[in-house]
Each structure stands twice: as C-alpha cells, then as structure tokens.
Amino acid sequence: MPTPFGDRNQPTQIAYDFAEDVQNLTNGDINILVKSNGRALPHLAIPAAVMSGKVVAGEFLLGLLDKKDSVFQHDIIPLLANNYKDAQLLWQASKNNTEKQLNKLGLHYLYVVPWTPYSFFSTQEVTRVSDFNGLSIRTFNNTVTALIKNLDAKPVQLPFAEIQSAFSEGKLNGRFTSLSVGEDTKIWTYAPYLNDLRLWIPKQVVVMNKAFFDSLDVKTQKAIETAAAKAERNGWTQTQERVETDLAALKDGGVFYKEPSEKLLKELEKMKQRMTQEWINQNPTQNGGIYRAYQDAQKQALKAQ
C-alpha cells in the first residue's frame, strides 16, 4: 500500500494503524505493507496503480482524480469548506457520489483522512491578491491550476520529490499545502512566508482494487471495513488536534506568519463563488445535488447550535 507522505504525517500514521488492525482482525490472513514517503510509487502514479491492480491498495489526495469525474473537485474548491465542521458536512453530502465514481474506476473505497488546513507558503510576502501576480506556484490537479490562473499566477506541475529543489532553483515561488506538510518538510528553509489562508481541508483517500476486494470472502471484507471505519473516525479526530501543534512548530522553525486580511479573503470569496458555480455547471444533477445537500446540512447545524 503506497502512500506519498512521510511517517510523521497523520494520514501515514493512521495508515500504519489501519494495516495493523486489518492483520489482527483477519488473524493474519491479510497483511498490508505500507510504503510511505513515495518509496514505492510517486504520488501521481498511485491511483492508476491501484486501478490496474499493480498494487492492491493505495493512499492519495482525493482531488487527484478531478480529471476522471467532477465530483472529486469538491475537495479543493477554495473556501467551500475550510473548517472541520463544514468539511465533515461536505464529505457527508458528497460521499455516496464519490464512492459511486470510485467504483466506476475500479476502486473500492475504504476511508478518508483530512489534512490540516491548506494555506499558502512562498518565498516572498503575500498580503494582497495582486501579490500573486506572476508567481510560479506548484499545482497538482486541474482545480488548483484553475485557482492559480484566477490569481494571475503561473501553475507549475512537479512531482512531490522535486518541490524543494525547484524552490532553490527559482522554478517555484509558492505552494498551497497543509500546515502538517509544511512542518514535516521544514518549509521555512525554502518558502518561509506563510499566509494562513486555510483555503480548504482536503482528504487523503485510501482505496483497494475493487476486483481484489470483491474476490475476498464476506468475513474478510467485513474485517477490512471495520478497520477502515476506525481509521476514518481517528482521522477526523486526530488531525484536528495537530493544527495548533503544527502551527507552533512552523513558527518555532522560523516561518514568517501572517493572517489573511479581510480584503484578501473577500477577493478569494469571489473566486470561491465562481469556481463553485463552474463545478456545479459541469454536472448540475450530481454536483448541484451535493451542494444543496451541503447547504441544507449547514443550515441544520446552525439551528442545532
């Protein structure tokens, strides 16, 4: 089971726990070997490897599949769900359609783990929308590419392993990434300016090759699903606990920290509205239904307070 990030990141730690639980619950009949930090496969190669059966299971950013179906874009629309309460409501609204599309790709859904919020790290201070103009910013899918272009910046697609060297060579000026990845990679050594935008809380998804999962007996399937449910519960709880500790570590490391201005957030809100509508327009029945269900859930949550 390849996973792209290092052992200190919460999704990877939960993957190890998941593998141990599967082994225990199946009495050793199923053993999952987690290969972290991109050692087995680069991040971008993991989805296709699981689809083809090259590997039985894998973990990757859900939004990497946004070319396959627009449902996966919900995960990385800026400001659509940028706190954990809303992120959970959005996931509940989109989960059924997401699983359906994963099945069509030959992937059996196991669980998701949210990241700590994605903010913007750069080689220079960014305080206004105009400060993004002309910056070379790392992208990893169509949705992020659209955001970067909306900011009048230049999207640059690079493998995860090449990011730090690209900064040192001047090929990159900025990147959107989670507080956890920033802390883990000592981002202050190559992109020391943090504008804590908290644009989205994307999810790592763990999937299994569907043909392989379907070939297992019911008892084994249930054992894997039990371990997966526990992993997802822990993911939502434990990741939230990392936000403040990761932020403190970034500041201790030497990051120049800045909270976004009200003006900058207003400009980004306009982009959110435009990108949300563009997402809905791609599949009004599916995506529009998800958005309406999400809005309804938000209203119910407010009433319950």
CATH class of 10-299: alpha beta
Name the residue with tokens 């009495």: 27
Give pLDDT, residue 159.
86
> Once rounded to an integer, what is the mean pLDDT over residues 46-73?
96
Give pLDDT, residue 304.
87
Task: Note the pLDDT tens digit of each residue in 26-45.
Answer: 999 999 999 999 999 999 99
Give pLDDT, residue 176.
96
Q: How confident is the model at residue 20 (pLDDT cuts 50, 70, 90)?
A: very high
Q: In whole angstroms, what is the distance from residue 121 CA to residue 253 CA? A: 14
Answer yes or no: is pLDDT of 305 > 90.
no
Give pLDDT, residue 161.
84
Give pLDDT, residue 118.
94
Answer yes or no: is pLDDT of 51 > 90.
yes
Give pLDDT, residue 288.
98
Q: In whole angstroms, what is the distance from residue 5 CA to residue 42 CA? A: 10
Q: How confident is the model at residue 80 (pLDDT cuts 50, 70, 90)?
A: very high
> Once rounded to an integer, what is the mean pLDDT over residues 43-69?
96
Give pLDDT, residue 213.
98
Average pLDDT of the residues of the chain? 95
Q: How confident is the model at residue 217 (pLDDT cuts 50, 70, 90)?
A: very high
Give pLDDT, residue 196.
96
| Closest among 110, 63, 67, 68 to 212, alpha carbons compared | 110
Task: Note the pLDDT tens digit of each residue in 227-276.
Answer: 999 999 999 999 999 999 999 999 999 999 999 999 999 999 999 999 99
Answer yes or no: is pLDDT of 182 > 90.
yes
| Closest among 235, 207, 15, 4 to 98, alpha carbons compared | 207
Give pLDDT, residue 3.
96
Is residue 143 within 8 Å of 61, Cβ to Cβ? Answer: no
Answer yes or no: is pLDDT of 280 > 90.
yes
Q: Above pLDDT 90, what percent of the chain?
A: 95
> Once rounded to an integer, what is the mean pLDDT over residues 4-12?
91
Answer yes or no: is pLDDT of 132 > 90.
yes
> Once rounded to an integer, what is the mean pLDDT over residues 97-107?
98
Give pLDDT, residue 225.
98
DSSP states of 180-233:
HHHHHTTGGGT--EEEEEEEE--EEEEEEEHHHHHHS-HHHHHHHHHHHHHHHH
Q: In whole angstroms, what is the distance from residue 265 CA to residue 149 CA? A: 17
Name the residue with tokens 């403040």: 244
